[in-house]
Structure 1
């Protein structure tokens, strides 16, 4: 514990920056590196094997770092695999990637990440890549990976430094908790200090039941005068953090909330009609966006396509009905009958619904539903810069969370019922 406190405590001297022999952030053109890395993905690419080798190397050479991670690493491993895929997929768009990594660096402050940790990560990644590729590994391919990583790290360090005036996370207390069905809860919370965010964004939540484990959840309301926050959280039974937030959290319980993230926001008064496509708990972000549009001087004509498996899965119907009653500019189209939350039926309903090529589109929900809707909108002629959605990073759960990957060395977390009883002081 003493070593961990020394590692995570503020440094007495300026923190070391990541290696300086990478590309200058303002001059990096990653298209060439993208082509080289993509062409060699079968040799060494984001995969469970690569992630396992990376963390094995990191914890073998620097055992103290294990204490900075949650007991179960399944979510973390899947999240890192998806993050590396996102880097590779966006290397040819450095400005967009830089903005993404800057926000990521700001958010990573809540984990206790410092610049020296990025150097450890780089060395571990290089070792893992060489281990996966074996004798076929080349220096050119390794340098492409390292240039990509150093570009991302430079942006993340810049994001962390820009956010030094704000806390790495906010302490909050649960002010409301309502179960809306099996594995689904609407949670209200209020932070001890002012918390800034925008409609359409999301934040990572942590419950004290599972220290160091964070999960992303969209805000389900536009900023309110009383500072209360709202989240819609779904647990599929495979994620302990989401299960804890849904089934083992109540009014008065503490939460930690990371900084707001995401660019799926309304920029001033939209100068064109709006299309919102939401599936499942994607309704949370849609609801926040509609509340913000309602407050504008001239709300645009807006179509909402809302996907759900059954009428009973439309869990927040009073709020939806109230919005319809107040907003004559809003038309709601429910899309029902899809067991997967309206994934394919939702995209097809949007295609049949009209000509959206001149609209500003927002898409939220489970990753598969978001991907299907984005592909459909692109096929219908909506330009990519007018289709707004957060990065699609994995399988369905409370939000866009990756599918867990179990590693033999992952330590299973104690049962949540046991943790909940211990925290409440019960035997």
Structure 2
């Protein structure tokens, strides 16, 4: 029997993946038959109850390092073929999973929010070659790891709470993957521009082979051929353009990782792989409020994309023509950096501020601050005050984002008027 090739083969594998997804979803939701999707939601998940049970037993399995080490050891020992789905170095993967566990546990009392997040994650995980059956092996390995890590103090009730939590998240991931079977699992892009703005920061322009759907303010996972299966998330620094060209701002954060590969070892003509666009830090079709934008470091990238979209909507250039936005509307931008040298896109910003009267820029420099010092940006935003009627966008290092969110909350800005993306790839997310 010959192998399927081309379009026929792709359709065949898509049908297999769809069948696996539906079968696993029925199994995880306890459905022996194949009823309609509405029955799957008939009994709401009581995430708060499982959260209380998991938190009560959490000291037995934390810190997560030992638990996750045992999980992967068990999974690769029982199913060696799964190792190829992971990067050569598992350090980042382990820390990423620890952050995912923490996110799940901390937000389990808000199941709708968790389901939305993991639905998007399931769409993104298609790029890794993950099939629904892989989630079953993960669950089995997790149960073994929990028992070994917790020891005699472990209980069946606590384990079942973990299983229900995992199955809830996985069901959302399967839904996300199943809903996007018609789109590519990933996109190929060719580097058409690579500009070093500083020794540790590069601006990359990437042209995709086929249309790449996204919105200004979103981010994408990027893989370099130098580090197969090691994907890292970077914000798109431009609004959608008529040409299939994307822009990424990448700062090298360490040696031997994806950021170093993209900054120091990537050249024009190299090929990258991109996962689907993610993120909710996007503009409304016609936002009625004044806008506050707070950015630090390469957190400027998604803000730049948002400003480019606004400029295009107002007919002021900087992007494709979009539906006009009602005037007047002001944009207050607080841009934080340790020094003037870190304002790597200052010329672009100055040109925009001069061209667009609705844009007011406040640079906030943290001269001489130690590593991680991002407090001055939040302080500057708090001092300015009067944000109650604004729609806020916050992007940058986790410490800066956290401090700014706290200040805005204390100032009375409702959570629904603040947009930011909790990216799990961030070391302190």
Task: Assess if the C-alpha contact under 8 Å between 1:46 and 1:84 holds in 2.
Answer: no
1:347-367 deviation per Cα after TM superposition (whole angstroms, max 9, x unaligned): 111111122122111111111
**C-alpha separation between the residues in 2 aligned to 1:368 and 1:260?**
24
**C-alpha separation between the residues in 2 aligned to 1:102 and 1:112?**
16
Q: How far has the Cα of 1:11 moved from its partner?
A: 7.3
> Which runs of structure 2 are paired with 1:137-152 in the superposition (5 Å)?
137-152=154-169
Residue 402 of structure 1 aligns with which residue? 427
> Which runs of structure 2 are paired with 1:279-318 in the superposition (5 Å)?
279-296=296-313, 297-298=324-325, 300-318=329-347
Name the structure, 1 or 2, with higher relative contact order (CA <8 Å, separation 6+).
Answer: 1
Residue 320, structure 1, aligned to residue 349, structure 2: yes
> Which runs of structure 2 are paired with 1:270-419 in the superposition (5 Å)?
270-296=287-313, 297-298=324-325, 300-337=329-366, 338-340=369-371, 343-393=374-424, 400-402=425-427
Task: Assess if the C-alpha contact under 8 Å between 1:189 and 1:229 holds in 2.
Answer: yes
> Which runs of structure 2 are paired with 1:3-14 in the superposition (5 Å)?
10=13, 13=16, 14=19
In angstroms, what is the RMSD of aligned CA positions?
1.9
**C-alpha separation between the residues in 1 aligned to 2:383 and 2:187?**
44
Which of 265, 269, 272 does residue 255 from structure 1 map onto?
Answer: 272
**C-alpha separation between the residues in 2 aligned to 1:132 and 1:379?**
40
Distance 1:89 1:138, change over 3 A: same
Distance 1:238 1:381, change over 3 A: farther
Structure 2 gaps of 5+ residues are 1-11, 32-39, 314-323
**C-alpha separation between the residues in 1 aligned to 2:172 and 2:343?**
40
1:340-388 deviation per Cα after TM superposition (whole angstroms, max 9, x unaligned): 4651111111111122122111111111211111111111111112111
**C-alpha separation between the residues in 2 aligned to 1:21 and 1:45?**
28
Secondary structure (helix, strand or coil) at the match of 1:10 reads helix
Q: If the length of structure 2 is used for normalisation, what is the TM-score? A: 0.87
**C-alpha separation between the residues in 2 aligned to 1:11 and 1:287?**
37
Task: Assess if the C-alpha contact under 8 Å between 1:279 and 1:342 holds in 2.
Answer: no
Residue 179 of structure 1 aligns with which residue? 196
Q: Name which one, 1 or 2, has greater alpha-carbon Rg.
A: 2
Task: Assess if the C-alpha contact under 8 Å between 1:204 and 1:214 holds in 2.
Answer: yes
State which drifts further: 303-312 or 336-345. Answer: 336-345
Secondary structure (helix, strand or coil) at the match of 1:190 reads strand
Task: Assess if the C-alpha contact under 8 Å between 2:290 and 2:330 holds in 1.
Answer: yes
1:359-418 deviation per Cα after TM superposition (whole angstroms, max 9, x unaligned): 11111111121111111111111111211111153xxxxxx5337xxxxxxxxxxxxxxx
Residue 107, structure 1, aligned to residue 124, structure 2: yes
Secondary structure (helix, strand or coil) at the match of 2:253 reads coil
> Structure 1: which 4+ aligned runs deviate by more than 6 Å?
none
State which drifts further: 297-306 or 187-196. Answer: 297-306
Paired positions, count: 390
Secondary structure (helix, strand or coil) at the match of 2:59 reads coil
Secondary structure (helix, strand or coil) at the match of 1:78 reads helix
**C-alpha separation between the residues in 2 aligned to 1:11 and 1:330?**
47
Q: How far has the Cα of 1:158 moved from its partner?
A: 0.6
1:199-233 deviation per Cα after TM superposition (whole angstroms, max 9, x unaligned): 11000001111111110000001111112100000
Q: How far has the Cα of 1:38 moved from its partner?
A: 2.1
Residue 90, structure 1, aligned to residue 107, structure 2: yes
> Which runs of structure 2 are paired with 1:170-249 in the superposition (5 Å)?
170-249=187-266
Which of 165, 186, 201 does residue 182 from structure 2 map onto?
Answer: 165
Task: Assess if the C-alpha contact under 8 Å between 2:14 and 2:181 holds in 1.
Answer: no
